[in-house]
Amino acid sequence: MSSSDRVLNAGVLGATGTVGQRFIVLLSQNPMFRIHSLGASERSAGKAYRLATKWKMSDLIPEAIKDVLVKPCDPSQFSGCDVVFSGLDASVAGEIEKAFFEADFAVFSNAKNYRMIPNVPLCVPVVNTDHYALVASQRAERGLKKGFIVTNSNCSTSGLVVPLKALQDKFGPLRRVMVTTLQAISGAGYPGVASLDILDNIVPLIAGEEPKMEAEVMKILGGVTTDASACAPLTDLRVSATCNRVPVLDGHTECVSLEFAGAPPSIEEIKQCLREYTCEAQSLGCYSAPKQVIQLAEQEDRPQPRLDRNAGDGMSVTVGRIRECPVFHVKFTLLVHNTVLGAAGASILNAEYAAKKGYL
C-alpha cells in the first residue's frame, strides 16, 4: 500500500498559534490525516491544548483535540508521525525544524528560515510542484532516508504567483510586476498588531515583507537545475512590492500591474487563461486541491476579503478588475486567504502531493 492510500499520522509544531490553529481545523476535516502530536513552546508544553491556546478560529476546537497534551518541540516526542507540519515562529523555526528533518521526519514549514536555500522546495502547491525534484538532493546531502523539508511561501507571495504562473505558462516570460498589498491582521500572528495601531487605520509597513516577496516570486516562477541539485530562479523578471497592513481579519488583497516580455495578449485572452489554469495537484486528485485554482470575480467591485476569502475553501485565488494598464500591459486585483492557501492549507496540500508522488 502506498502512503497516498493510508491515513498519515500528523504532528503540528507551533500548534497553539494562528497558523497552528488553522492546521488543526483543516487536518481535523481531512480524511488523509490523523492528528497525532501537538508541539509548542515550554510555556504550553504539558498543558491540555484548550488551556495552552488562545483559540481564535470561528470553528470550535475539535472535541478530539481539546484535551490532547501539548509537547515540547523535540523530535523524540514525535515518534510515530509520518509528517510534521510547522507553524513555528521564525525566531525558533530554524533550529527546531532542522532537528526534525535531520531526525528523518518529512517537514512542511510555514516559516521563512529555509525558503531561499537552493535545494529546498519553496512550493505553492498549485504552482510549482516540479520543485519537489530537489528533495533527492537534500536527502543525499544529509544521508537521510525519509527526511526532507518543503517550505511554503510568504502568504502574499502565494496569492501573487498563481495568476503570474498561469500567464507566464501561456504567454511567455513577464518583464515587470508591481504589486501593492492590503494584508489582514491574522498575518501578524497573535497577539499581532495592537488594536490602537490598526483600528480606523492603515499601517504602510510590514517589516521585511517587500524584499521577501520580491525574491520568493523569482524562485517559485523559476525552475530547477538539470541535475536537480538546486533551484534556478528567474533572472529577467523585475518585481516591486509595497506592503500595507489593513483592518481586515483574514484575506490578503493585492493590486497588481504587469508587463509581458513579448506582445501582450488581449484582456479576453488573459481572462480565459486564468479561468482555464489547472495544476498537477488537481490532476492527481489531491483532497485539498481546489476545483478551480483561479476564480474570476463576476462582479466589478470584487474581490472583497469578507465575501471572497473562502473561495474554494480558501484554496482558490480570486482575481477581479482585470483591465488594461496605461503604464504596463494589464492590471488586476487578487485575493488570497492568508492562513489557508497562504499557510496551513498549502502545507497540507504539499503533503498530500508528496504522498501521491511517493515521497512519504
Ligand X SMILES: N[C@@H](CC(=O)OP(=O)(O)O)C(=O)O
Q: Does 257 bind ligand X (CB under 6 A)?
A: no
- The residue of the chain with the least Cβ separation from ligand NDP equals 17
Check 36, 131, 252, 329 and give the catalytic one.
252
Bin 80: left if φ > 0, else alpha if -120 < ψ < 50, else beta: left
**Dihedral sign for Cα atoms in the order 179, 185, 187, 188:** positive
| Catalytic residue list contains 337 | no
- Applying CB under 6 A, among 4, 338, 347, 350 the residue interacting with ligand NDP is 338
Q: Give the footprint of ligand X on residues 205-234 (CB under 6 A).
A: 206, 209, 212
Distance of CA 250 to the CA centre of its chain: 14
Q: Give the footprint of ligand X on residues 80-119 (CB under 6 A).
A: 111-112
- Count the alpha carbons within 13 Å of 285 in the hemisphere toward its beta carbon: 4
Near ligand X by CB under 6 A, which window of 33-41, 60-68, 182-190, 280-288? Answer: 182-190
Q: Which does 118 bind (CB under 5 to 8 A by kind): ligand NDP, ligand X, none?
A: none
Q: Give the type of residue at 220.
A: I
Q: Which does 333 bind (CB under 5 to 8 A by kind): ligand NDP, ligand X, none?
A: none
Q: Which is nearer to ligand X, 56 or 271 (CB)?
A: 56
Task: Give ∠ CA 35-48-310 in degrees, rounded to 5.
Answer: 50
**Dist CA 52 CA 67 (whole Å):** 10
CB of 243 to ligand X, least distance (A): 8
**Dist CA 111 CA 301 (whole Å):** 33
CB of 63 to ligand X, least distance (A): 29
Does residue 223 contact residue 130 with C-beta atoms inside 8 Å? yes
Does residue 250 contact residue 338 with C-beta atoms inside 8 Å? yes
CB of 314 to ligand NDP, least distance (A): 11
Does residue 49 contact residue 16 with C-beta atoms inside 8 Å? yes
What angle do helix axes 267-276 and 155-171 make, rounded to 10 degrees?
A: 110
Q: Give the footprint of ligand NDP on residues 153-192 (CB under 6 A).
A: 155, 186-187, 189-190
Q: Give the type of residue at 168.
A: Q
**Nearest CA-CA partner of 216 in 127, 300, 299, 302:** 127
Q: Does 14 bind ligand NDP (CB under 6 A)?
A: yes
DSSP state of 75: G
CB of 244 to ligand X, least distance (A): 10
Q: Which does 40 bind (CB under 5 to 8 A by kind): ligand NDP, ligand X, none?
A: ligand NDP
Task: Give ∠ CA 302-308-310 in degrees, rounded to 5.
Answer: 170
Q: Which is nearer to ligand X, 71 or 112 (CB)?
A: 112
**Dist CA 82 CA 107 (whole Å):** 9
Q: Which is nearer to ligand NDP, 53 or 295 (CB)?
A: 53
- Count the alpha carbons within 13 Å of 194 in the hemisphere toward its beta carbon: 2
- Applying CB under 6 A, among 20, 147, 187, 233 the residue interacting with ligand X is 187
Check 81, 155, 231, 279 and give the catalytic one.
155
Q: Does 18 bind ligand X (CB under 6 A)?
A: no
- Applying CB under 6 A, among 109, 183, 253, 318 the residue interacting with ligand X is 183
| Catalytic residue list contains 231 | no
Active site residues per annotation: 155, 252
Question: Contact positions toward ligand X, by CB under 6 A?
Answer: 111-112, 154-155, 183, 187-188, 206, 209, 212, 338
